[in-house]
Amino acid sequence: MTQKSLIPKPVGKAHRGRSRPRTPYEDKETPRRAVIYLRVSSEEQEKGHSLEAQERECREFLRREKPSWTIVDVCQDVHSGKTDRRPGFQKMMNMIYEGKADAIVAHHLDRFSRNLHDILTYFKTLEEMNVVMVFAKDRFDFSTEEGRLQFHVLAVFADWYLQNLARETRKGKLARVLKGLPNNRLPFGYIKGPDGIAKIVPEEAEVIRQAFELYATGNYTDAQIADFLNKAGFRTRRGRLWSKDTVRDLLQNEFYIGLVKYYKELYPGKHEPIISKELFEKVQQVRQTHYRKPKVYSTTVRPYLLSGIACCAQCGRTLRAQGGKRYSYYREMSRARGFDDCPHAGKSIQVKVAEEQLGRIMMAFSLPPDWQEEIRQVLEQEDRRKAILGERKRLQEKLRRLGRLYADGAIDDLEYQTERDEIKRRLEELVVPEPSGTVEAGFQLETLGDVWPYATPWEKKEICRLMLK
């Protein structure tokens, strides 16, 4: 005897049912405004993965598959795909957020990103904004579960490639070091030979030996060695003047005794050393004797009002605040930073003189007689700004409700598109004025001359930061 099925069968159709929300990928007919995104890393560019080839294939894909779409811009990056902090990528996303584009076209998924979290996060965000992603070489049908599965699998592989690339890069760097080859730029004194091994530059090697020998006497500092190198006419590998910092790095570089470094480990190098190990160690011992331990008690820290603010009128670089036994100074530091183009290099002004002049300027500061009328106009603008923000919020909520009605099937395609375009047009017309802090600033500035003499040095520094930086 056959047992009857216990699973009930449907008896009819419901008069009112909740339909499945439609995704933007199911709408294959609506014309879209597309931004093409191109990306290569520096390594990929060297291997011939050109931006021009990506753009050509994306344009051919749109002409063949999406003839009704319009290209509104092309954004590109020469940058790793492991992060979204890329100028071209951010420009593209800002266009999406501002409603200037509603489709993204890339050559491959891994051109968009190689970071799994970023890929899935942006995909969800863009879909909620009714924005689609398409790829010239990766054909995903996002309107089906199978297509979404393929997309997620490829996203995982893109992320795996990035992680594997980092591992392979580390392995490659270690392999070079084990062969006695450096991973970084060759230091002063060497050039790359035809066999890939560092070769000594004789005239540079001679001055390096002299620098080590001078410092080993204990009578020279890093700054004095820098002056010696600069007067001899030598420059760093970046073409700048030597400074105490670049000399310190030179005198502590184990490459000059024939070693190569991988992280904190040293290995024998294939290149010829310039100095002996004994001379190198003598220099390190002298450096230890020059090292002065910090005092165990805390010294009084004084604020420099123009620190990070005062600049040289000639070169535009910031002055450095320096304290001394009797006087403190704001000093122009181009030469110490490796630049030789400032005619005022090394010149200084006493901190007391500069800050007294600053105080007289602050105490003489005044607003024009009609500043309150300007404030009234600003207040009116603030009221207008609030009204525009309120209207924009109302329209955005209306757009959201319209999307729900469309997803539920309550309105047809034509009605939805007409109403949506009208709301977007009104949103574009509602330009929000920039917020202004003029009101509060006006009242504070009006009393600045009275407040300045009684402010503490730290309060004066904060006032300078807010007004001048």
What residue numbers bound the domain in which 137 lies? 24-165
Which residues are within 8 A (CB) of 289 and not within 5 positions of it... i.e. 6 or more apart? Answer: 218
pLDDT value at position 457? 85
Question: Which residue, 165, 198, 222, sits at the end of a domain?
Answer: 165
Report the alpha-carbon distance of residue 221 to residue 468 in Å, rounded. 37
- Which pTM was predicted? 0.42
Q: Are residues 41 and 107 located together in one domain of the fold? A: yes
Q: Are residues 32 and 135 located together in one domain of the fold? A: yes
- The DSSP secondary structure of 238-270, one letter per residue, reads TSPPP-HHHHHHHHT-GGGGTEEEETTEEEE-S
Q: Is the pLDDT of residue 203 over 90?
A: yes
- Residue 185: inside a domain, yes or no? no
Q: To the nearest whole number, what is the mean pLDDT of the chain?
A: 80
Report the alpha-carbon distance of residue 361 to residue 359 in Å, rounded. 5
Q: Are residues 196 and 228 located together in one domain of the fold? A: yes
Strand stretches in 9-122, DSSP E: 33-40, 70-78, 103-106
Q: Are residues 43 and 131 located together in one domain of the fold? A: yes
**Domains in the chain, number:** 4
Report the alpha-carbon distance of residue 213 to residue 225 in Å, rounded. 10
Structure tokens at 321: 């605040």
pLDDT value at position 284? 92
pLDDT value at position 46? 45
For 150, counting Cβ atoms within 10 Å of its Cβ (0-12 exposed, 13-18 middle, 19+ buried), the class is middle
Which residues are within 8 A (CB) of 177 and not within 5 positions of it... i.e. 6 or more apart? Answer: 183, 260, 261, 262, 265, 267
Q: Decide: helix, strand or coil at residue 236.
A: coil
pLDDT tens profile 95-114: 988 889 999 999 888 888 87
- The DSSP secondary structure of 91-133, one letter per residue, reads HHHHHHHTTS-SEEEESSHHHH-S-HHHHHHHHHHHHHTT-EE
Cβ–Cβ under 8 Å, residues 132 and 126: yes
Report the alpha-carbon distance of residue 65 to residue 139 in Å, rounded. 11
- Residue 228: inside a domain, yes or no? yes
Cβ–Cβ under 8 Å, residues 226 and 244: yes
Q: Are residues 407 and 284 located together in one domain of the fold? A: no
Question: Mean pLDDT over residues 434-453, rounded?
Answer: 61
